Amino acid sequence: MNNMFDVNDKPKGLKRIISAAKNTARALNWLLKNEAAFRQEIVLLVMAIPLSFAFNISVSEQIILIIAILFVIFTEILNTAIEAVVDRVGLDIHPLSGLAKDLASAAVGLSLFIAILVWIAVLL
């Protein structure tokens, strides 16, 4: 059977890693140009990294603080991906489309809440 999605046609080894890195760079570049929330979260990360050195905490705790912000960014990327897929399927108003976007947005909100709790827990 001839399958147009033959897994044997996918790049392997170093070629796959290079391809994945290019895809990641293209996606991050797109996010920086098109998503204000992503840019705001990158600013938050850039501020959080040096700020983490201002506190008398361990390196492990600094890493936890930074990971908390990275988790928000990770969730924002998934939110944007869900929005893109929903918009690709159709721009017409549909309750399930709205629900998908609202749920993705709720995930971002929850990740922000988690990040705040992590920062409070580490700094207190």
Q: Hey, which residues are catalytic here?
A: 76
Smallest Cα–Cα separation from 67: which of 115, 121, 117?
A: 115
Smallest Cα–Cα separation from 105: which of 121, 122, 123, 81?
A: 81
Q: How far apart are CA 115 and CA 112, in angstroms?
A: 5
